[in-house]
Amino acid sequence: MGTKGKVIKCKAAIAWEAGKPLSIEEVEVAPPKAHEVRVQIIAAGLCRSDTHVINPKFEGAFLPVILGHEGAGIVESVGPGVTNVKPGDKVIPLYVPHCRKCKFCQSPLTNFCTKFSEHKNPIIEQELMDDKTSRFTCKGKSIYHFLGISAFSQYTVVKDINLAKIDDDANLKRVCLIGCGFSTGYGAAINDAKVTPGSTCAVFGLGGVGLSAVIGCKTAGASRIIAVDINSDKFAKAKALGATDCLNPRELNKPVQDVIVEMTNGGVDFAIDCAGGSEVMKATVDCTTVGWGSCTFVGVNVNDKGLTISPVELILGRTLRGSSFGGWDVDTVPKLVSDYKNGKFNLEALVTHTLPFEKINEALDLLKQGKSIRTILIY
């Protein structure tokens, strides 16, 4: 007996309130409507961005919600009009949609799509499907989607334009990390910063995203990669992945940017902020060289006011840019999955823990305490 066209009852982790643990509940997942796809999630990682929405300081939170945006799964059924995937296909849902129609999708300069963000903050986008309703119900209440994905449910409904179809032999327990953390950091280095061979780089924040940026800098041929974190426990892994130097700002007697400038005879060529917050943003700018220093911002700090910058810092030749999902989209992610299979990069190094989906709160605690890089939840 198939499930197509029927409501599926399954387990999901629901955030009912900010600042509280998630609660594993039975949810009802409605069948997909036009241009929607119901996906069985097989594995998912936990990214720092999942925690922002349930941070009590976060303004504009929409609750209750099913978080999760770093998952991989198998198509269970498709709604009318879906042509890019079929039941049984392996997929990675992406929070960056690709409508192919807007001026951004038609430009090679960006992976942005108007369907991603019509408001100011993409993190509170895609909380409902296009008809402004949710496909999730729990205890009679409608539950919000998150970033168009909601991977912390055994089944979820995603728009067809948010799905990357990947190879049938892809290892979902690893390539789920291509759904966010790995692609974000790696792409920030190679697609957005465009790190060049022989260059000097600094990476701030050595979580799943920052370590992936280190992998990107190394792949691009950087000759020196200075890895910065306030948690020195992250340094062994950063070195194993290619960092040449590691600095802990809390153990230095002057600002970390001053130390980097001294170490590099005037500053690095490329700096990538994978931690977020005004202090790190400032260090990211100040540690780059005048003339051509390139700063790429990835990290997000809830309610932080960001950077105040003097025009002189830019007039002297620096450039600043932000990076969203490392510049990838539904068309380029399948290639990343094959690159992983062909050994071009290592995802194993990012996986510090594996837990059953039901232990998601343990995984969240490990992330908050800085004890994990990525925990893979198995459904």
List, by residue number, the catalytic residues: 47, 49, 52, 69, 180
For residues 377 and 45, the answer to whether their CB atoms sit within 8 Å is yes
307 binds ligand PAD (CB under 6 A): no
Asked whether position 91 contacts Zn ion by CB under 5 A, the answer is no
Q: One symbol per residue from 348 to 367: x for binding ligand PAD (CB under 6 A), - otherwise; what is it? A: -------------------x
d(Cα 344, Cα 339) in Å, to the nearest integer? 5
- Beta-bridged to residue 9, according to DSSP, are 28
Nearer to Zn ion, 47 or 195 (CB): 47
Exactly one of 64, 73, 181, 267 binds ligand PAD (CB under 6 A); that residue is 181
Q: Is 329 in the site for ligand PAD (CB under 6 A)?
A: no
Which of ligand PAD, Zn ion, none binds 259 (CB below 5-8 Å, type-dependent)? none
* Residue numbers 221-240 binding ligand PAD by CB under 6 A: 228-231, 234
CA distances in angstroms from 256 to 41, 185, 280, 298, 378, listed in the order given:
41, 21, 10, 19, 39
**Closer residue to ligand PAD (CB): 103 or 321:** 321
Contact status: 47 vs Zn ion (CB under 5 A)? yes
H/E segment holding residue 367: helix 360-368
Helix (H) or strand (E) holding 208: helix 208-219
- Using rule CB under 6 A, residue 170 touches ligand PAD: no
Exactly one of 195, 268, 275, 295 binds ligand PAD (CB under 6 A); that residue is 275
Cβ closer to ligand PAD: 8 or 268?
268
Q: Which does 298 bind (CB under 5 to 8 A by kind): Zn ion, ligand PAD, none?
A: ligand PAD
- Interface with ligand PAD (CB under 6 A), residue from 68, 73, 93, 205: 205
Residue 201: what residue type?
C
Say how far apart CA 196 and CA 199 lie, in whole Å.
Answer: 6
Question: According to the binding rule CB under 6 A, does residue 246 interact with ligand PAD?
Answer: no
In this structure, what is the dihedral angle of CA atoms 272, 326, 276, 175, given to the nearest 10 degrees?
Answer: -110
Q: Which of 72, 96, 149, 180 binds Zn ion (CB under 5 A)?
A: 180
The rounded distance, in Å, linking the Cα atoms of 368 and 366 is: 6
207-226 per-residue burial string, b: 16 or more CB within 10 A, e: under 16: bbbbbbbbbbbbebebebbb
DSSP label at 190?
Answer: I
Helix (H) / strand (E) containing 49:
helix 48-52
Q: Considering only residues 245, 279, 304, 362, which one is a binding residue for ligand PAD as defined by CB under 6 A? A: 279
Q: Cβ 242 to ligand PAD, closest distance in Å? A: 17
Stretch that binds Zn ion, among 26-34, 47-55, 114-122, 257-265 (CB under 5 A): 47-55
Tell me the HSE value of 125 on the side-chain side, using a 13 A CA sphere.
14
Binding-site ranges for ligand PAD (CB under 6 A): 47-49, 180-181, 184, 204-210, 228-231, 234, 249, 274-276, 279-280, 298-300, 323-325, 367, 370
